[in-house]
Structure 1
Amino acid sequence: MAQLEQLQVFQSMHSSPNTRLHRSAELGDGLAAAVWSNRHDARDYQAPSHHTLSCYLAGGTGTFRRESPHSKGAPDKLCILPAGHQSEWVINGEIHLAHLYISQEQFALAAVNLLDREPRELELRESTFLDDAQQARRFRQLSSLDWSEPGERLLSSSLAHGLISHALLNQVGRRAGLRLNGGLAPSLRRRVRDFIQANLAEPLSLGQLASLCALSEYHFARMFQLSFGLPPHRYVLAQRLLQAQRLLRSSPLPLGEVALACGFASASHFSNRFRQALGATPGQYRQAFAAR
């Protein structure tokens, strides 16, 4: 994900003299979080390139959108702000809230992995002042953790993934009037996805994946990105890292064996890739979840 300061919703909040940033952190996997307070302010969000989930932790009873002045916020109310949306907000009184910022790539991965759907078929439905007790509890737990402590930051990432999965299952719908052009047929998409999942421990080449669909490497790469929301090599790496996280949480395999089981050439290569994606080493990740 982009640096926090480059995220439009974060920028808009941070640019106001009335806001206070209590904490923020990049959680890895294209996710970031922040806890804010604000008072007597107005904020506009103009077509951000990322999705934002928010939860009011305290106050907010004087907060509303300009086009809906009679609908007000309250503690535990949630807002879903999809990428590309536009909204204008008025804050009367004080508010304390948490934000979760989600890259479109992470949304695409979740759509494929959780829903077995093409990301471009789906849209995150915008919602203001939503009641969802389960999501509010997750946000409160996320906000209570110390993101500067590596183990708790990793637990925060796990909670953030739970927030995304819940939103995908409850707040996602098919894009209205959609007419898809290009991309892999659903049967081919599943064939490629299942083949990758079954062969994560093996070297996987673009030509090997293209042959599953009887396409040239160039044409396959273009069709794959349309259907999966990211290029083949990045999708394969993401699946290997997800598998590594599952093994680190649930198995006693030595780190070198986890690396080989997930298709990494060496323990050092595995460690470098894992740290780049999650901001922690595989050993730190295992330790964080062993302590739960």
Structure 2
Amino acid sequence: MPPLHQLHVFNALHSSPRARLESSAQLGEGLAVALWNNRDDTRDYQAPSHHTLSCYIADGTGTYRRQRPADKGAPGKLCIMPAGHESNWVIDGSIRLAHLYISEERFALGCLRLLDREPRQMQLHEAIFIDAPQQALRFRQLIDLGWDEPGERLLASSLAHAIVDHAVLGQVGLRQGLRLKGGLAPHQRRQLTDYIEAHLDQPLALADLAQRCNLSEYHFARMFRESFGLPPHQYLLARRLELACRLLRQGDLPLGQVALLCGFASASHFSNRFRQALGATPGAYRAAFA
């Protein structure tokens, strides 16, 4: 995930003299969050490169899209703004809202893990002012956490993942009229994911994965990215870190053993990679969920 000031929706709000940023945080793994206040404003979002889930925390009853003035917001309402969308907003009165920013790579991982579909086949449906009480509750829990405190930021990351998973399962559908070109065949993709999951504790070189598809490393890497939405090494790291998080939450295995079970060469290598992705050490992550 790029720095917050490089995210289109964040920057569009931050550039307004009427909007006030209460707090924000990078949650790691392609997720970032921000809490805003705004009043009597207009904002335009033009083709952002990231997805945004928005939850109205308070007020917002005078907020509407310029093209649909009859539809108004309210506390607890959710809006879904996919990457590449365009929208123009009018804020008549005051509003307090939370934003969850999601990278295309994090969305791709959700499509693969939860739907077993190629990310390029799927799209996040744009929606405004939907009722989703469970999602709204998660957003309220999210903003109650202290994002500057490492342990609470980890809990916030877990809530953010739950929000994204819910959106992928409920608001994602097939792209209409899509004709796929290139990429791996469905049976190759499925074979690869099964193989990777079964061998996360072992060294997995690009050459080994390419050989399973009878492709050169160059063509395999290109076709993998077409089908998976991210490069092989990034996908593999994400799967290893997800397994590590599960092991850390569910048991008390020594960190060295967790590292080996997840395919990291050493505990120090595991700790460095984990901290880069989640902003905390494995030990701190385990303590936060204890």
**C-alpha distance in 2 between matches for 1:216 and 1:38:** 53
1:11 CA displacement: 0.2
SS at match of 2:230: coil
SS at match of 2:211: helix
**C-alpha distance in 1 between matches for 2:100 and 2:209:** 34
Counterpart for residue 147 of structure 2: 147
1:256 corresponds to which letter in structure 2? G
2:20 corresponds to which letter in structure 1? R
Give the fraction of aligned pairs with identical amino acids, expressed as a percent. 68
Cα deviation, 1:104-159, whole Å, max 9, x if unaligned, reads: 00000111011100000000000010111111111111111110111110010011
Counterpart for residue 5 of structure 2: 5
Please report the TM-score for the alignment, with normalisation by the length of structure 1: 0.98
1:221 CA displacement: 1.0
Counterpart for residue 223 of structure 2: 223
Q: How does 1:152-231 map to 2 (within 5 A)?
A: 152-231=152-231
**C-alpha distance in 2 between matches for 1:16 and 1:263:** 46
SS at match of 2:183: coil
SS at match of 1:69: coil
- The number of residues matched between the two structures is 290
Cα deviation, 1:212-253, whole Å, max 9, x if unaligned, reads: 112221111111111111111111111111111011101211
2:24 corresponds to which letter in structure 1? S
Counterpart for residue 92 of structure 1: 92
**C-alpha distance in 2 between matches for 1:74 and 1:185:** 45
**C-alpha distance in 2 between matches for 1:274 and 1:207:** 25
- More deviation, 214-223/96-105: 214-223
SS at match of 2:187: helix
Cα deviation, 1:16-65, whole Å, max 9, x if unaligned, reads: 11111111000011100000010000001010000000000000000000
**C-alpha distance in 2 between matches for 1:152 and 1:48:** 29
Counterpart for residue 73 of structure 1: 73
Cα deviation, 1:148-172, whole Å, max 9, x if unaligned, reads: 1111100100110111111011100
SS at match of 2:136: helix
Counterpart for residue 82 of structure 2: 82
Query: Is 1:278 aligned with 2:278?
Result: yes
Query: Is 1:255 aligned with 2:241?
Result: no
SS at match of 1:99: strand
SS at match of 1:284: helix
SS at match of 2:264: coil
1:210 CA displacement: 1.2
1:257 corresponds to which letter in structure 2? Q
1:207 CA displacement: 1.3
Counterpart for residue 64 of structure 2: 64
**C-alpha distance in 2 between matches for 1:278 and 1:30:** 10
Q: How does 1:128-147 map to 2 (within 5 A)?
A: 128-147=128-147
Instruction: Name stretches of at least 5 consecutive residues in structure 2 with no aligned partner.
Output: none
